[in-house]
Amino acid sequence: MAQALREAYQAGEDDETLEPRVLVDRQGKPIGRFRDGDYVIFYNIRGEREVELCHSLLDRDFPHFQVEKDLNFRKESIMPRILMIQGSNMNLLGVRQPEIYGTTTASELDKMMNDYAKAKGFDLEIFYTNSEGECIDRIIKAHYDKVDVLVMNPGGFTYAAYSIRDTIKGVKIPYIEIHLSNHYDRGIHSVIAPAANGVIMGLGIQVYFQGLDAALYLAGKKR
């Protein structure tokens, strides 16, 4: 495969026009089927394309790969993994007090963030919960799943969720806290913020993207 790629570049083919190469085994015979235990390795590939290819491999209905039934595919990626938690009442974005929190809906924001993750090349999971216990469980799961960074808008958890603060401190996951409005202007105090590496607030929807950028910075420091 490496020789085929070298020859292609020498012939003037670039990343956009490179024709597919056939995978072969050690005897030079074409491999036409993915089997359990096989690895697919991507070299020098943009993050969003890696995500698309991995999704294709995991999709049983994708017609262009021959995949044996019930294979245990898993993705092992060097891309940063970021968990975005939307806390209490954040599912009401665009509905609840738009004069403070704006008119962008939760579904619109989700699409914007997923598009941003695709463009930047990182894995993003967005999790909504109005339950403090569910939030704690998801943070603990993130620790065992080896998520790189947690970003959270605590929403209604901001005022009294000491247990969420203690969980973040306990699992030692890097954490960026975000708030749409300026808490200093509104006289609000976050009891979770002492567990954060940084807090971004007061810039409306932009705090989400600045929070994700800060998360990427923290993830880069870990690697």
Written as six digits, the tokens of 154 are 């605590």
Question: Is the per-residue pLDDT at 73 higher than 80?
Answer: no
Structural domains in the chain plus CATH codes: 2-58 (no CATH), 81-222 (3.40.50.9100)
pLDDT at 121: 87
pLDDT at 79: 83
Question: Is the per-residue pLDDT at 223 higher than 70?
Answer: no
**Residues paired with 125 in a beta bridge:** 83
Active site residues: 101, 179
Q: Which residue has the tokens 């890696």?
A: 50
DSSP assignments along 176-208, one per residue: EEEESS-HHHHT---SSGGG-SEEEESSTTHHH
Query: Dihedrals φ, ψ of 34, to 5°?
Result: -85, 135
Calpha distance 125→128 (Å, rounded) = 10
Question: Is the per-residue pLDDT at 125 higher than 60?
Answer: yes
Angle between helices 206-222 and 106-120 (to 10 degrees): 40
What pTM value is reported for the model? 0.68
Lowest mean pLDDT: which of 27-36, 70-79, 90-99, 182-191? 70-79
